[in-house]
Amino acid sequence: MGEILQKSAFTLIKSPKRREVTKDSFPLPYQAELFSAYAPNLLILVTFPKATAEEFMGVLEHTRPGVVIDLRLFPRFDVGSLSRQKVFKEFETRRILYFDFARLSDDPRQLDFSTLNQIAELRVLSGVIMILLEDRPYTMDVAKALHDHLATVSHAPWDVVQVPSYLPARVSSDLQFG
């Protein structure tokens, strides 16, 4: 009797390609050259250390956030060419208010965002807000809780953009072994 040979298929899933941070990465209207104010209520979730120095600086350049809320347990900025000193100089130059929320709790999942009500009184809880996050399993839960609180406090919806972001992965099934 003849032997039946089966070819096994091998599917290669290529790594997703990162989307470059440009002004087109963010919802319209974004006319940085013409207007100093952008689309109302945009939350930009920047995850460190996944985000590169170029992506972080691109977000600052293209969106001009008024507030940065840091939810990281270890608020470090030593990514690529960045340093804490350089980043805080950028915040100062761009008049960005920085809030280190993680220092309020050892567990970001237990943060009490009601202190944002005091910030709301400063009328800075609108426009563009950058949220700095760590790459942890619960990160998106914390970001969602903050998003929901901001929507409640500001009485307005918020668009959300994540950095880094990726193009969908391509699948190649042309490789056959056997």
pLDDT in tens, 13-43: 555 677 777 777 776 544 444 444 445 788 8
Other Cβ atoms less than 10 A from the Cβ of 40: the count is 14
The total of other beta-carbon atoms located within 10 Å of residue 131's CB is: 25
| Neighbour count for residue 113 (Cβ, 10 Å) | 20
Quick check: is 17 in a domain? no
Does 159 fall in a domain?
Answer: yes
State the CATH number of the domain containing residue 43.
Answer: 3.40.1010
Instruction: Look at residues 45, 43, 41 and name the one whose alpha carbon lies nearest to residue 71.
Output: 45
Give me 39's structure tokens. 């689309």
User: What was the pLDDT predicted at 59?
Assistant: 92
Q: Does the residue 87 lie in any domain?
A: yes
Structural domain includes residue 173: no
Tokens of 5: 């040979």
Q: Tens digit of pLDDT for each residue in 126-138? A: 788 899 998 888 8
pLDDT of residue 155: 81
Tokens 């880094």 map to which residue? 164
The pLDDT of residue 32 is 47
For residue 111, the enclosing domain spans 38-166
Q: Is residue 4 in a domain? A: no
Q: Kindly give the parts of the chain with pLDDT less than 70.
A: 1-16, 27-39, 102-125, 167-178
Q: What is the pLDDT of residue 168?
A: 58
Identify the residue whose tokens are 């001009």.
64
Quick check: is 98 in a domain?
yes
Report how many domains make up the chain. 1
Give the pLDDT confidence score for residue 10 in this predicted structure: 55
